[in-house]
Structure 1
Amino acid sequence: MNRLFAAIKVNSTASQQICQLQSGFGRDGRIIPKDNLHITLAFFGLTREAVQLELVEAIQAVPKRKFSLCFDTLSIWPNSRLRCLETSQCPQALAELARDLRGLSARYGLHQSLHPYRPHISLQRNLPQTTGQWQTSCALAQPIIIWPSHFQLFRSQLGPSGPHYQPIASWSLHKDG
């Protein structure tokens, strides 16, 4: 079984901006490596090989419209002990793509998120519990804008130095979906 999720990998320009932002964080918590920066669309969880093949085929039929994202808020999610970038507005095309992919998760009996979709980029995990006493969000002086051209299905493999994300399928985003 593979641990799968659909996501948009952060491009190199945005990754450089994010790494610069991360360099100002304290040593508390674990910084997310540049190669692991992504925007999760849907988390499928542990998936049998046969279901994975069906899932890849089903994703082909999902409309895939282009959009841009403006990450303008630096947030701390105290309950998750996570520091992340968020958007103040979720583009409709992104919301629909995430909804459709989460629908496939339900159709195949895979992981079901209990939370509404919130596009974000995880920057730092395992923050100390005291982090909840800090300001939980602030506007970025320089927003980070991303124009994704595609999204991927990733396999997450846990290793001694943390997770490694291996792309196993990719789909282009189109102007007309």
Structure 2
Amino acid sequence: MHIKSLRLFFGLPLPHRQAAAIDVWRNGLALDGRLVARHNLHLTLAFLGSQPVERLGELQRLAGQVRGQGFELRLDRLEVSRHGLVSLGTSQPPEALLQLAGELNDTLRAAGYSLEERAFWPHLTLARQCRKHPAPGSPPDFAWTAERFVLFHSTSDEQGTVYHPLFHWPLAMPHL
């Protein structure tokens, strides 16, 4: 079987320790929807959808042009949409995050990629299709330093969905 296209997106991966901590906290919410697997937790920067395999080299080159800065990302808000999406958000999006997403999206659009037109919404999806709201508890407070961004390939089969990191690019870390 020859693969002709890949379902792709750029995102920020979570360190394993943070993903585990978020997973434990989320399990305490007793959500009734489809949980995002712990190994798939991430923050999406740009969703590309299905792309021809031949464009991978171009995507590597374009992402390599983006000069983002590292930053601390603090997820401190539990967000629930009317469509059953439960996510972690940030009350104070770091300027470096907004700049990274903006530059990446601008670079991709300039190269002819069709991206969502809605404003960037920094969030980490915990579950989809939840019918009941989680009970209010102590507010979340998770933070980590974003040091790189990644091009992910999404695959699905009878076992579920898996996000495979294909390539990554470092973010310049400020000197302390």
TM-score (structure 2 length as normaliser) = 0.87
Cα RMSD for the two superposed structures: 2.0
1:166 CA drift (Å): 0.9
1:123 CA drift (Å): 0.6
Native 8 Å contact 2:75 2:140 kept in 1: no
One-letter amino acid matched to 1:30: R
In percent, how many aligned pairs have the same letter? 28
Native 8 Å contact 2:46 2:115 kept in 1: no
**1:54 alignment counterpart:** 58
- Is 2:43 aligned against 1:9? no
- Is 2:125 aligned against 1:127? no
One-letter amino acid matched to 1:169: F
**CA shift digits 1:120-174 (9 cap, x unpaired):** 111111212xx4xx48x97853510111221110111112232111111011111
Q: Which runs of 5+ in 1 are unaligned?
A: none
**2:101 alignment counterpart:** 98
Distance 2:30 2:137 in 1: 19
1:27 CA drift (Å): 4.9
List, as ranges, runs of 4+ consecutive aligned residues in structure 1 with deviation greater than 3 Å.
Answer: 137-142
- Is 2:32 aligned against 1:28? yes
Native 8 Å contact 1:29 1:127 kept in 2: yes
Distance 1:50 1:138 in 2: 47
**1:116 alignment counterpart:** 119
**1:161 alignment counterpart:** 159
**CA shift digits 1:34-78 (9 cap, x unpaired):** 100001111111111222211111111111211111111011112
TM-score (structure 1 length as normaliser) = 0.87
**1:174 alignment counterpart:** 172
Q: Which runs of 5+ in 2 are unaligned?
A: none
1:90 CA drift (Å): 1.1
Equivalent position to 2:87, from 84, 91, 95 = 84
Equivalent position to 1:141, from 119, 139, 142 = 139
Native 8 Å contact 2:31 2:130 kept in 1: no
Equivalent position to 2:47, from 20, 31, 43 = 43
The range that moved more, 34-43 or 48-57, is 48-57
